[in-house]
Chain A
Amino acid sequence: MSFAKNLRCRECGRVYPLDPMHVCEFCFGPLEVFYDYEALRRTLTRERIERGPPTMWRYADLLPCAAETAVDIGTGFTPLVRAARLGRLLGLERLYVKNDCQNPTWSFKDRVVSLAVTKAKEFEFDTLACASTGNLANSVAAHAARAGLDAVVFVPADLEQGKLIGSAVYGPTLVAVDGSYDEVNRLCSELSDKYPWAFVNINMRPYYAEGSKTLAYEVCEQLGWQAPDHCIVPLASGSLYTKIYKGLKEMAWLGLVEWRRTRMSGAQALGCSPIVEAWERQSFDIKPQKPNTIAKSLAIGNPADGYFALKAMTQSGGHAVAVSDDEVVEGIRLLAETEGIFAETAGGVVVAGLRRLVQEGHVDPEELVVAFITGAGLKTQEAVAPRLQPALAVQPTIASFEEALSERTGALPATRK
């Protein structure tokens, strides 16, 4: 069952019913789902969660809709991998990678969309829509197919091919907008006033955003019911980051883990780093930027939750870091070559960011660190393709193979005795 009680304004605290709305009528501040934590404390136990399905819906009590009505394509409970090789390379003793590439549409977006679509059905919408830099469009299109709803997804026209196909295959109306994500977003905001659609990241936003909390719950459970010392999270709007923090705090409030002051660090690509820029100025005021980076899934110039992310970062003792596009590609390769996980550019930002944080002394080598890898690399192959070694082209003979191999490596490997 759901223990969601009402929507509350994050700015002025006004309370609203659980309706399809996303901003406070009074101050236009963002609304957030609030729960009956007293009842949750009485009901929710580790055992109750462990009896649930091996998906994000095992945490339905902590979400705004019931598991029985869930539109679920098998999202969540993704692997938390002990990354010993990458850890050694970075100088970390206890590094884990939360591999959210393994969701049904290969990104963490399935978590938020599963919730938004479930809620949209409950509100009897017949059409799902979203503004997206790709991953969200993939997920909305897939969930709409599953739920039997129409989908209209809007993306910037310059998106990676993999992300366009990854939406189109589910049969939505795919709209490629000649403009930046900011412009796509603005268009969708205007359209949401005009058409009675469930825009998952506009009028469904309070419900949608809650899905990200499940990442924190899973990490705690997978660590044997303990919170990590330090999280490294990619920053775009700041929503994922703040919801992971909220999830960790809820786990402790409810007595499911012991309270630990988990440090929350965030990483952005230098070509779009308004949150890091504000952090470095020691200010809570975000100066909007025009994105110019290969990390398109993080390219949000005016992050809606930037202020809240900066607050959480300050509270938790975390740090913010921005990395160049070259470092992003190195980060992708590093993760792939040490742990066998092929992440998209956002994952490259996290790994490269973590490397910098360690080098600069912002991460203690003994901390239990979790790096959140939020999307799979097959979607952004263009980013790494030019930097990879081409295949050895050989004739089907041993001589040709050996010639090519020794040309590449300078020597041949030892043969059988």
Chain B
Amino acid sequence: MAKQRVKFTFPQEMIKEPVIWRLGRDFNLVTNIRRADVTEDRGWVVLELEGEMDEIERGVQWVVEQGVRVDPVAGDIVEG
């Protein structure tokens, strides 16, 4: 089993979509939310994904295809 820490940033049109629930159901991943801030017009969620590595990769790819931005958990790390 592998783990990956990621940050999802949702555009306004995706706020109401159950992306994380589908990620857990369709890719058999354990999704563990650690921090989040979601309002009616934008949102981000920092979470850990646990599952088979190729399922994590497929799942993250699917999330990106939905229009959600996916970053490593520390975001863009530093300038330079």
Provide the residues of chain A in CB contact with B71, threshold 8 Å.
Answer: 182, 185-186, 288, 302
Whether a CB of chain B sits under 8 angstroms from the CB of A115 is: no
B74 close to A304 (CB less than 8 A): yes
A189 and B4 alpha carbons, distance in the complex (Å): 10
Provide the residues of chain A in CB contact with B76, threshold 8 Å.
Answer: 181-182, 185, 237, 300-304
B74 close to A189 (CB less than 8 A): yes
* A185 in contact with B72 given A27-B34, A288-B9 (CB within 8 Å): yes
Of B4, B48, B75, the residue contacting A304 (CB under 8 A) is B75
Most A Cβ at <10 Å: residue of B35, B48, B75, B77: B77
Whether a CB of chain A sits under 8 angstroms from the CB of B69 is: yes
Of B5, B34, B80, the residue contacting A201 (CB under 8 A) is B80
Interface string of B33-58 (1 = CB under 8 A from A): 01101000010101010000000000
Provide the residues of chain B in CB contact with A209, threshold 8 Å.
Answer: 78
Provide the residues of chain A in CB contact with B79, threshold 8 Å.
Answer: 133, 234, 236-237, 239-240, 297-298, 300
A11 and B7 alpha carbons, distance in the complex (Å): 15
Name 29 interchain pairs, CB-CB below 8 A, sorted by A: A11-B35, A26-B34, A28-B34, A28-B48, A29-B35, A30-B74, A107-B80, A112-B78, A133-B79, A136-B78, A181-B76, A182-B76, A185-B77, A190-B72, A201-B77, A202-B74, A205-B74, A236-B79, A236-B80, A237-B78, A237-B79, A239-B78, A239-B79, A287-B42, A288-B71, A300-B79, A302-B76, A304-B74, A304-B76
Beyond the given A30-B74, A189-B72, A302-B9, could you list 11 further A-B residue pairs with CB under 8 A, ordered by the A residue number? A27-B46, A132-B80, A135-B80, A182-B76, A185-B77, A205-B77, A237-B75, A240-B79, A285-B44, A287-B42, A304-B77
